[in-house]
Amino acid sequence: MTAEALSGCPVLHSADEPRLDFGGTTPYEDYVHAATLHDLQRPVTDEPLERSFLVVTQVMELYFGLLAFDLKYARDRLAEDDVRSATAALRRCVLHVKALRAAWLPIARMTPREFNAFRDALGEGSGFQSAAYRHVEFLLGEKSASMLVPHRSVPAQHAELARALAEPGVYDAALALLARRGHGVPDDVLNRDLTRPYTPSPAVEEVWAKIYATDDGEPVRLGEALTDVAEEFTGWRHDHLMATRRAMGSKPGTGGSAGVSWLEKRARRDLFPELWTARSHV
């Protein structure tokens, strides 16, 4: 801060310098709410690494919310046959998940001793209880009514997740669009129970195989954007699994699961399954 600013006298600035004097808070603060953000870091121990863990977790939480926003946007544009905007939104999603994966760096190599130094203070808290993450999974087709249970006591959060459970995911919207364009997506797939996880269909595999074999332009670009989202998201799950193995071996999780063996099962699942299996038939 300059001497003038500290003394409270009017501050002169030349045209090519940033403005220094503001009546109240800065416009940056008004837009970003940086003070509020910084106030949200409340570690529960004095371990310096716990602050990294908390900030990384909060950054990831924000990205889960952003990802849900853009996945919904992509789904809604697909429903309006606006494939260009939908594909652009999916491309943004790929970059969000790349950023999510890079965010692991400060905590990816925690040793068990470092993690133990603050682990007990986390109590039963686990990323498993993230409503935003669950919303993302629902939009990616991984539906599960039981995943609403942890959110029963927070009505607004529960209602949002219940809505997402019953609504189409981004892949449902992509298949409905292909059906409108004359591709043979069967009715039982189009009218499936949306509250259940998406299950692979040989007929959908055939649709994608035909699209990829004939290079249909827009549908292939959509298929590739969806495949990129799937690959990066699986990559995040894998990064999480590796960080967990390094930090706690095969101990049970704070959320009550078996830990690594439970995460391994989750990481093996493929998103948008026919986009992977169709490739064997092209």
Distance in Å, CB of 166 to ligand HEM, minimum: 20
- Pairwise CA distance, residues 230 & 71, whole Å: 12
Nearer to ligand HEM among residue 133 and residue 212 (C-beta)? 133
SS3 readout for 108-170: CCCCHHHHHHHHHHHCCCCHHHCHHHHHHHHHCCCCCHHHHHHHCCCHHHHHHHHHHHHCCCH
Contact call for residue 266 and ligand HEM (CB under 6 A) = yes
Contact in structure between 110 and 243 (CB atoms under 8 Å): yes
Is residue 19 marked as binding?
A: no
Tell which positions 238-257 bind ligand HEM, by CB under 6 A: 240, 243-244, 247-248, 253-257
With contacts defined by CB under 6 A, name the span among 18-26, 33-41, 259-267, 271-279 that binds ligand HEM: 259-267
Contact between 63 and 99 under an 8 Å Cβ cutoff? The reply is yes
30-59 mask for ligand HEM (x: CB under 6 A)? --------------------------xx--
Phi, psi angle pair for 126, to nearest 5°: -150, 150
Minimum gap (Å) between residue 244 Cβ and ligand HEM: 4
The total number of residues written for the chain in this structure: 282
What is the smallest separation between the CB atom of 272 and ligand HEM, expressed in angstroms? 17
The annotation status of 240 as a binding-site residue, yes or no, is yes
Q: Is residue 197 a contact point for ligand HEM (CB under 6 A)? A: no
**Between residues 117 and 190, which has the closer beta carbon with respect to ligand HEM?**
117
Quote the tokens at residue 228: 């990129």
Chosen residue from 69, 128, 208, 233 binding ligand HEM by CB under 6 A: 128
Single out the residue of 55, 241, 193, 63 nearest to residue 136, CA to CA. Answer: 63
When asked if residue 65 is in the footprint of ligand HEM (CB under 6 A), the reply is no
For residue 26, is it left (φ>0), alpha (ψ between -120 and 50) or beta? beta
The span of 192-200, 207-215, 221-229, 262-270 binding ligand HEM (CB under 6 A) equals 262-270
> Please, are residues 13 and 5 in contact by the beta-carbon 8 Å criterion?
no
Q: Which two tokens stand for residue 79?
A: 């429903």
Binding site listing:
119, 240, 254
Binding site listing for substrate:
119, 254
Residues engaged in binding ligand HEM (CB under 6 A): 56-57, 60-61, 107, 110, 126-128, 130, 133, 240, 243-244, 247-248, 253-257, 259, 262-263, 266
